[in-house]
Chain A
Amino acid sequence: MSHRIKKSGILIDRTKPKNFTFNGKKFRGFQGDTLASALLANGQVLMGRSFKYHRPRGVVASGAEEPNALMNMGQGARFEPNQRATTTELFDGLVARSQNHWPSLEFDIGAINNRLPKFFPAGFYYKTFMYPRWAWKHLFEPIIRKSAGLGTAPQQPDADRYEYFYAYVDVLIIGGGSAGLTAAIEAGKTGAKVLLVEQTPHLGGRAPVDGFGIDAQLNTLKNMKNVIIRTRTMGAGVYDHGYALAYERITDHAPNSDQPRHRLWRIRAKRIVTATGAIERTLNFSGNDIPGVMLASAVRDYVSLWGVSPGKSTVIVTNNDDAYRTAITLFNSGQTVAAILDARPMGGGALANQARDLGIRILNGKAIKKVTGHKTVASVVICDQSDETSDTETIICDCVAMSGGWSPVVHLWSHCGGKLNWDAKNAMFSPDPNRPPTGHDGQGFVISAGAAAGALGHDAGIQNAVSAGRQAAVEAGFSASKTIASIAASTPESPMLAVWSMPQNASYALRLKTWLDFQNDVKVSDVQLAAREGYESVEHTKRYTTLGMATDQGKLSNINGLAVLADSLNAEIPAVGTTTFRPPYTPISIGSIAGEARGALFKPTRKSPIDAWQDANHAVWEPVADWRRPYAYRQSGETTQQAVTREINATRNSLGLLDASTLGKILVKGPDAGNFLDLVYTNMMSTLKQGRCRYGLMCNENGFLFDDGVVVRTGEQEFLCHTTSGGSDRVHAWMEEWLQTEWWDLQVFTANITEQFAQIAVVGPNARKVLEKLGGLDVSNETLPFMGYTEGRLAGIWARPYRISFSGELSFEIAMPANQGQEMWDKLLEAGAEFNITPYGTEALHVMRAEKGFIMIGDETDGTVIPQDLNLGWAVSKKKTDFLGKRAQQRSHMVDPNRKQLVGLYTLNPDYVLPDCAHAVENGKIIGHVSSSYFSPTLNCSIAMALITGGAGRMGKVLDFVIDGKTVQAKVVDPVFYDKEGARQNV
Chain B
Amino acid sequence: MSEFKRKSTDGEIEISQPDFTGMVTLRADLANSETIINIERIIGLKLPEKRKLIGDLSHGMAWMSPDELLVFCADPAAMAAQLNAGLSGAFLVADVSHARAVFLLQGDGVREVLAKGAPVDLSPEVFLPDDFRRTRMGQVAVAFWMSGQSPDSFGLICFASVQEFMFDWLVTASKKGSLPHYL
Contact = CB atoms under 8 A, between A and B. Distances in A.
A613 to B, nearest CB: 14
A260 B178 contact: yes
A609 to B, nearest CB: 8
B182 to A, nearest CB: 6
A168 B25 contact: no
A817 interface: yes
Interface string B165-183: 1101100110111101010
Contact of B118 (A166, A597, A627): A166
28 contacts: A161-B172, A164-B116, A164-B117, A165-B112, A166-B119, A167-B115, A168-B121, A168-B123, A168-B126, A193-B123, A228-B182, A595-B138, A600-B168, A601-B165, A601-B172, A609-B98, A747-B89, A749-B28, A749-B90, A749-B92, A753-B25, A755-B98, A755-B99, A755-B160, A756-B94, A756-B95, A756-B97, A817-B98
A600 B175 CA distance: 16
Nearest to A230: B182
A759 to B, nearest CB: 12
The residue among A166, A167, A670 with the most chain B CB atoms within 10 A of its own CB is: A166
Contacts of B25: 751, 753
A76 interface: no
A21 interface: no
A230 B182 CA distance: 9
A630 B92 CA distance: 34
Contacts of B96: 751, 753, 756
A92 interface: no
Interface string B69-102: 0000000000000000000011110111111100
Interface in A160-187: 161, 163-168
Contacts of A167: 115, 182
Contacts of A601: 138, 165, 168-169, 172
A268 B123 CA distance: 13
Interface in A736-795: 747-751, 753-757
Q: Give the bracket for the number of chain B residues in contact with chain A.
A: 35 or more
Contacts of A248: 180
B140 interface: yes
Nearest to A751: B94
Nearest to A266: B119
Contacts of A755: 98-100, 159-161
B36 interface: no
Contacts of B126: 168
A753 B94 contact: yes
A606 interface: yes
A603 B162 CA distance: 10
Contacts, number: 124
B95 A163 contact: no
Going nearest first, the 4 A-B pairs with the smallest beta carbon separation are A606-B161, A749-B92, A168-B121, A818-B98
Question: Which secondary structure dominates chain A's binding surface?
Answer: mixed
A667 B24 CA distance: 13
The residue among B112, B121, B161 with the most chain A CB atoms within 10 A of its own CB is: B161
B81 to A, nearest CB: 13
B164 interface: yes
Given A166-B115, A258-B177, A751-B27, A596 B90 contact: no
A754 B161 CA distance: 10
Given A627-B161, A667-B92, A753-B94, A258 B175 contact: yes
Given A603-B139, A667-B92, A755-B98, 16 more contacts: A161-B175, A163-B173, A165-B112, A165-B115, A248-B180, A268-B121, A601-B165, A604-B165, A605-B165, A609-B98, A751-B27, A751-B96, A753-B94, A753-B96, A753-B99, A756-B94
Contacts of B99: 753-756, 818
Interface residues of A, number: 48
The residue among A230, A608, A753, A757 with the most chain B CB atoms within 10 A of its own CB is: A753
A608 B172 contact: no
Interface in A99-144: none
B27 A749 contact: yes
Contacts of B128: none
B120 interface: yes
Nearest to A668: B92
Interface in A223-279: 228, 230, 248, 257-260, 263, 266, 268
Contacts of B117: 164, 596
A756 B168 CA distance: 22
Contacts of A607: 161-162, 164
B67 interface: yes
Contact of B92 (A163, A603, A605, A670): A670
A669 interface: yes
Interface in B103-158: 112, 115-123, 126, 138-140
B4 to A, nearest CB: 14
Given A669-B92, A757-B98, A597 B178 contact: no
A819 interface: yes
Contacts of A982: none
Contacts of B172: 161, 596, 601
Contacts of A193: 123
A671 interface: yes
Contacts of B176: 258
Given A164-B116, A596-B117, A259 B177 contact: yes
A604 B162 contact: yes
Contact of A749 (B91, B139, B182): B91
A263 B182 CA distance: 12
A604 B116 contact: no
B136 to A, nearest CB: 11
A531 B30 CA distance: 69
Contacts of B121: 166, 168, 268
A781 B166 CA distance: 44
The residue among A167, A259, A748, A756 with the most chain B CB atoms within 10 A of its own CB is: A756
Nearest to B166: A604
A628 B100 CA distance: 18
B144 to A, nearest CB: 13
A750 B161 contact: no
A819 to B, nearest CB: 5
A606 to B, nearest CB: 4
A691 to B, nearest CB: 18
Interface string A669-694: 11100000000000000000000000
A770 B96 CA distance: 29
A819 B126 CA distance: 37
Contacts of B161: 606-608, 627, 755
A600 B169 CA distance: 9
B113 to A, nearest CB: 10
Nearest to B25: A751
Contact of A166 (B97, B120, B164, B168): B120
B94 to A, nearest CB: 5
Interface string A146-170: 0000000000000001011111100
